[in-house]
Chains A and B, each alone.
Chain A
Amino acid sequence: MRIRHGAPVIVVSLDEDLVFDGRAQCSFNDLLVNLTGAGRDIARLVQAGCRVVVTYEPVPRSTLECACESAELASSPRAPFDAIQARGQGLIGYLLAQSIRNHLRRLKIKTHVCAMTVQVQVQTADAGCAVCSEQSASIPSVVREPVNVVEGPIVRNLVAGGTVVVCGSSAVAVRMDADGYLSGIETAVDPDSTAARLATQVRAKALLMLDAIDPTRLVDTPPRRSGELMTSAEATTRLAQGRFSPDIKRSKLVAALRFAQGDKVSILAPLANAWEAMAGGAGICIVGTESSVLSSSGSPAMPLPLTAFAV
């Protein structure tokens, strides 16, 4: 099976808990198990007919601190934060791309998979600048908003050709000076906002934010049915009223709302139900306007009629 030209592009954002189990340290075998599971579910999305960009958070903060510690123990020079992030992109990108490729092969789907390192341009004058690191002498705690994924056009080119592209979301942070030159900067970038930013740049139809938890359990009254639509306006009101569980990261909701404008769709779902969520049967689906996803009969349609794109 090949992906038909014109199939919808979706950006799949993997929460760091899916990769690292929420632990400071993850053994290679644990990492491999986690990424193999993620690769299987992502391969199903490709099988369903989507063109997919996958983003992940390459290195959790705790691992960064361990990286510094290991350099110190080895009496070797410590690399700066952005270089460690780049190293993490090599690590996770390699294993995740390999997992997706192997699962696609088992499904007899001839699609290329490619991991690439990406740089995210940040505004050094944004609010994050005001926050100084108090927790660690070596790792910055400042989290900045992404302005632009430098390699966005390259990702778009690859995914347009049907390649599954894997890249980091809290990627290497760079700033641009007045003359347009880029330089690395030791800061963290919000991974959810980066995924939403990249989704816009590659003209994705949907942003699928996958987590280890089921977000439908975390919305207060009235309870939500899995897959039920929520308009961007309703979700914004709920967020302002604090009616989402604190277990759903606020940055995730903000990024989802930012992307879900017009005919764009943001879906928050557990990884295990990724395919069902795309078919309208799981998770929370935030839409720009309800009419943008209504069928001709007036009833809510699936966010993306996935099977229509498979050939």
Chain B
Amino acid sequence: MTASPSTIVVALGGNAILQPGQLGTFEEQLLNVNEATRRIARLAAAGHQVIVVHGNGPQVGNILIQQAAAEASVAPMPMDVAGAMSQGQIGFLLASCLENHLRRLRHEVPVACLVTETIVDPDDPGFENPTKPVGPFYDQTRAKQLMLEAGYAMREDAGRGWRRVVPSPQPVAIVQLPSIERLVAAGTLVVCVGGGGIPTLRARDGSLSGTAAVIDKDLAAARLALDLDADVLLILTDVAGAFIDYRGPDERALQQVTVEEMETYVAQGHFKAGSMGPKVEAALRVARKGKTGIIASLTEALEAAEGRAGTRIVGAECADPEAALRHDRPADSSATEPIRPGGQSWA
């Protein structure tokens, strides 16, 4: 079916799991994940080796809010552990839905969900200036109490109250990389590096321990793609790709751009930090190494991989980057007959 199967690391945005305005019920998340995985399964069925990285911001936020609300009766867990909990929950959803979609497409490959840790550098500048707000809002009195008792960094958030802020360091290495490599080599579809991976510090004696931080999921996915020597990093989001002069009078969608061209657009300030900025940076990181970085809408995942949608950033030495991905389109039987999502029925 496929002329040139590729190894593709898919970075799935948080909106693919929980959309703005939704309550965050399990049923909502299940339906969202079911739709997202239907599209990812098509990639795998087209013959590509797929590795899925997912976001976890809203889920970790909910866990932290629940812990804060019930701290008198339920022992709270630190933030790295909350991240691990979200990996388990989202990973299960993704894995079970992927298995069913792959079965429906008659492309039954095993699906594994690994709890993944990502090494960060204790000297990363992010640790000196925590900026990422997490968890519930507090009043000033409670915020000061938490600063004193728990050592939290807290900041007032635009008149809405006080929130804990944590560092957002760069991903240095994926602890479970050897296991991921082995499973990928065996043809397993691996779900891993959820939420960018659990931020982990390596002590001088080599031992590892978790730390309170947030790793950008797209940058961690780029790290994984480079370490796996993947052909493509496919960042799926809720817009069609990267735009210059986004929502301005001269808005223009970018299709295929070189690293140099994209770096120029970055320098001109076209991509917002905390929004499209990290996605562009992640795609650039793989493109600088001669691979392909793609930013595309979740609804056009396969089309983007085929070079027919999204923004594609290619390295200068990549003379014909689309050739590596060009293939026959698979029959999309799933489009006409939706697959019943896993986990939908509760006995």
A and B assemble together: yes
A contacts, CB < 8 Å to B: 25-28, 66-67, 69-71, 73-84, 86-91, 93-95, 97-98, 101-102, 105-106, 112, 114-117, 119, 124, 129, 150-151, 153-154, 157-158, 161, 163, 172, 174-175, 180-187
Q: Which residues of B have CB within 8 Å of A88?
A: 85, 88
Are the CB atoms of A77 and B25 closer together than 8 Å?
A: yes
CB distance from B283 to the nearest CB of A (A): 28
Instruction: State the CA gap A132–B104 with chains docked (Å).
Output: 33
Q: Which residues of B have CB within 8 Å of A73?
A: 66, 69-70, 73
If A77-B23, A158-B182 are given as contacts, then 5 extra A-B residue pairs at C-beta distance below 8 Å, sorted by A number, are A73-B73, A83-B343, A95-B84, A98-B209, A183-B96
| The 5 residue pairs across chains A and B that have the minimum distance between CB atoms | A90-B88, A70-B70, A184-B343, A74-B69, A94-B84
Interface residue? B171 (CB, 8 A): no
Interface CB pairs A-B, < 8 A, 25? A25-B74, A66-B70, A69-B73, A74-B68, A76-B65, A77-B24, A77-B26, A79-B26, A90-B86, A90-B91, A90-B115, A94-B115, A98-B210, A105-B205, A116-B113, A117-B92, A154-B188, A174-B342, A181-B103, A181-B104, A181-B342, A182-B100, A183-B344, A185-B346, A186-B347
Instruction: State the CA gap A161–B93 with chains docked (Å).
Output: 27
Are the CB atoms of B182 and A117 closer together than 8 Å?
A: no
Interface residue? B99 (CB, 8 A): yes
CB distance from A5 to the nearest CB of B (A): 14
Other-chain contact of B343, A71, A101, A183 (Cβ < 8 Å): A183
Nearest B residue to A93, CB-CB? B115
Interface residue? B89 (CB, 8 A): yes
Are the CB atoms of B112 and A116 closer together than 8 Å?
A: yes
Instruction: State the CA gap A71–B64 with chains docked (Å).
Output: 11
Q: Knowing A67-B74, A74-B68, A154-B188 are in contact, say whether A83-B92 is a contact too (CB < 8 A).
A: yes
Q: Knowing A69-B70, A154-B112 are in contact, say whether A90-B89 is a contact too (CB < 8 A).
A: yes
Q: Which residues of A have CB within 8 Å of B209?
A: 98
CB distance from A163 to the nearest CB of B (A): 6
Are the CB atoms of A124 and B347 closer together than 8 Å?
A: yes
Q: Which residues of A have CB within 8 Å of B318?
A: none
Nearest A residue to B62, CB-CB? A76
Q: Which residues of B have CB within 8 Å of A181?
A: 100, 103-104, 339-340, 342
Other-chain contact of A95, B70, B81, B178 (Cβ < 8 Å): B81
Instruction: State the CA gap A153–B95 with chains docked (Å).
Output: 15
Instruction: State the CA gap A93–B207 with chains docked (Å).
Output: 17
CB distance from B279 to the nearest CB of A (A): 25
Nearest A residue to B77, CB-CB? A28
Interface residue? B117 (CB, 8 A): yes
CB distance from B52 to the nearest CB of A (A): 13
Interface residue? B141 (CB, 8 A): no
Q: Which residues of B have CB within 8 Å of A116?
A: 112-115
Q: Which residues of A have CB within 8 Å of B347?
A: 124, 129, 175, 185-187
Are the CB atoms of A90 and B85 closer together than 8 Å?
A: yes
Nearest A residue to B25, CB-CB? A77
Are the CB atoms of B88 and A93 closer together than 8 Å?
A: yes
Other-chain contact of B183, A87, A150, A157 (Cβ < 8 Å): A157
Instruction: State the CA gap A88–B94 with chains docked (Å).
Output: 16
Q: Which residues of A have CB within 8 Å of B113?
A: 116-117
Q: Knowing A28-B77, A69-B70, A112-B178 are in contact, say whether A82-B92 is a contact too (CB < 8 A).
A: yes
Are the CB atoms of A91 and B88 closer together than 8 Å?
A: yes
Q: Knowing A90-B84, A91-B85, A94-B117 are in contact, say whether A184-B112 is a contact too (CB < 8 A).
A: no
Other-chain contact of B346, A94, A129, A184 (Cβ < 8 Å): A184
Interface residue? B206 (CB, 8 A): yes
| Interface set, chain B 137-181, CB cutoff 8 A to A | 175-176, 178-179
| Interface set, chain B 311-347, CB cutoff 8 A to A | 339-347
Q: Which residues of A have CB within 8 Å of B69?
A: 70, 73-75
Are the CB atoms of B179 and A163 closer together than 8 Å?
A: yes
